[in-house]
Chains A and B, each alone.
Chain A
């Protein structure tokens, strides 16, 4: 019992450390990547003892600034809720990472059972993640509501409507994947993606569910409030739900944004790019420690690649108008997602009929 507790704590520590650092790193990536796209240099002035290190210290400078800034609660605002809202946001964004399997099972010689590299080995992990992502909406609506600012509550409502609308498309896109692999357990799903079609095409989600992949990416960008769907924030034009937040409370909302992006990148990796699977590498080829190392590296590279793509999209496309956003969600993605589910179901039935049993993909 004690052993499991320690293992789980260590795993949670690793995930938290990795994710939070990557989120901090993400601010730097955002600055530099946008700068390179726009033929600029990007933030490079913060230095420690003359070392600028390509502007990496700006993330630290940001953190120091956020922590030392005055925390303003508007007069008449509900102080409890006002404080609770950013905590909610960060909390739900962080706990969702618990269900992501980030590597194959690690076999340590002094332990009887191999360690699953997944903080919480839930058999309905996908449901859990979606629940946590949906609960993140509470942070947003609370932030808007507790600020006692009409613009903030309008922004909060806007953000809530958007997130809920797109989570439907997100969920429906994932249903196709669930049907194909026949499981909601992410670690099982990743293992099933390790097989090959005809021995050379990886049986990844992107191969068997390409439409779902595109819907998922689009809806994920919208559900995490990233550009071009960043109407809830829209720093330059309309006022978002965190207009009344300052200091680290604002920083938490800001952090949530990056955490959710990473979360969605992890999810997309797990569902569509085979999670920690390295193509054409199976556990029998290499020793266990190398397999685990390569798996974790493969997972990290895929997540970073997704973050890169999200960032690239963010700095390419202009922001949607609100009616366009809703039209795209309900009239575009939602019907396609439903259609995808229906077509997947029909195809699965036919495959089961001709190739004997629905377990063709699920072994």
Chain B
């Protein structure tokens, strides 16, 4: 069967369109309408009137934020229990599911026998993160969420992109973090404690056996 040929004719210009000037005037009408409408609305906004009609589509970014959808995936945070300790139980599911391998968890035994473990370290390297949201979906404890609404994740070095548990539990915190106000069951480095497990050792052999000497105070 022969291929069907469909002839698409370019629309011919009508005489009115060929005159060119009427068409220019039509275009000018559109731009002029926009110009005077927006000018009027800008002046009205300055006088505090007609605020419900936007004069421009621009959102003045640093001062004014675009409203985010409730399911928008922004920077992560770790949710906390009523007593302020992290909800995370150190099950490593998020670290396992993470396609970018940007999560590093060092779990340790929790003093409370009803809670199995808790993270003594929980790092997310935002320079690597792809914001897929799998960690949120996979978490059985609703311990990690991506609902901070923080979009301006920017830093001057890679190290600054690596968020530790302090920044993840309190999204308001920014580097450098000088004191630890979080309700940890253990002493962390910032409260004269010792940081358990280094980034390298945790990444090098991701087994919890290296950190079983962690003390709980």
Contacts and interface: CB of A to CB of B under 8 A. Distances in A.
A316 B31 contact: yes
B217 interface: no
Chain B interface bracket (under 10, 10 to 19, 20 to 34, 35 or more):
10 to 19
Interface in A268-324: 312-313, 315-317
Contacts of A41: 56, 58, 60
Given A315-B31, A316-B28, A317-B24, A36 B39 contact: yes
A332 B21 CA distance: 12
A317 B30 CA distance: 11
Interface in A315-342: 315-317
B27 A316 contact: yes
Given A33-B35, A312-B32, A316-B31, A40 B57 contact: yes
Contact of A38 (B27, B34, B42, B55): B34
B121 to A, nearest CB: 42
Interface string B18-31: 00010010011011
B153 to A, nearest CB: 23
Contacts of B38: 36-37, 39
Chain A interface bracket (under 10, 10 to 19, 20 to 34, 35 or more):
10 to 19
Nearest to A45: B60
A312 B28 contact: yes
Nearest to A38: B34
Given A41-B60, A214-B21, A36 B28 contact: no
A312 B31 CA distance: 7
Nearest to A314: B31
A41 B56 CA distance: 6
Contacts of B28: 312-313, 316
Contact of B35 (A36, A214, A313): A36
Interface string A134-157: 000000000000000000000000
Given A36-B38, A38-B34, A317 B27 contact: yes
A316 to B, nearest CB: 5
A10 interface: no
A315 B24 CA distance: 12
Given A214-B21, A312-B28, A40 B34 contact: no
A122 to B, nearest CB: 34
A142 B35 CA distance: 38
Nearest to A328: B20
B177 to A, nearest CB: 32
Nearest to A54: B42
Contacts of A347: none
A35 interface: yes
A40 B35 CA distance: 10
Contacts of A37: 31, 34-35, 38
Nearest to B57: A39
A172 to B, nearest CB: 18
Contacts of B21: 214
Contacts of B56: 35-36, 39-41
Interface in B4-45: 21, 24, 27-28, 30-32, 34-35, 38-39, 42
Interface string B120-163: 00000000000000000000000000000000000000000000
B44 to A, nearest CB: 14
A35 B42 CA distance: 12
A168 to B, nearest CB: 20
Contacts of A38: 34
A38 B60 CA distance: 16
Contacts of B55: 39
A357 to B, nearest CB: 35
A35 B28 CA distance: 15
Nearest to A33: B35
Interface in B146-204: none
A60 to B, nearest CB: 22
A38 B34 CA distance: 7
B82 to A, nearest CB: 45
B43 to A, nearest CB: 11
A312 B57 CA distance: 20
Nearest to B46: A54
Given A39-B55, A312-B32, A316-B24, 18 more contacts: A35-B56, A36-B35, A36-B38, A36-B42, A37-B31, A37-B35, A39-B34, A39-B58, A40-B57, A40-B58, A41-B56, A41-B58, A41-B60, A312-B35, A315-B31, A316-B27, A316-B28, A316-B30
Interface of B: 21, 24, 27-28, 30-32, 34-35, 38-39, 42, 55-58, 60
The 6 closest A-B pairs by CB, nearest first: A36-B38, A41-B58, A316-B31, A316-B27, A37-B31, A36-B35
23 contacts: A36-B34, A36-B35, A36-B38, A36-B42, A36-B56, A37-B34, A37-B35, A38-B34, A39-B34, A39-B38, A39-B56, A40-B56, A40-B57, A40-B58, A41-B56, A41-B58, A214-B21, A312-B32, A312-B35, A313-B24, A315-B31, A316-B28, A317-B24
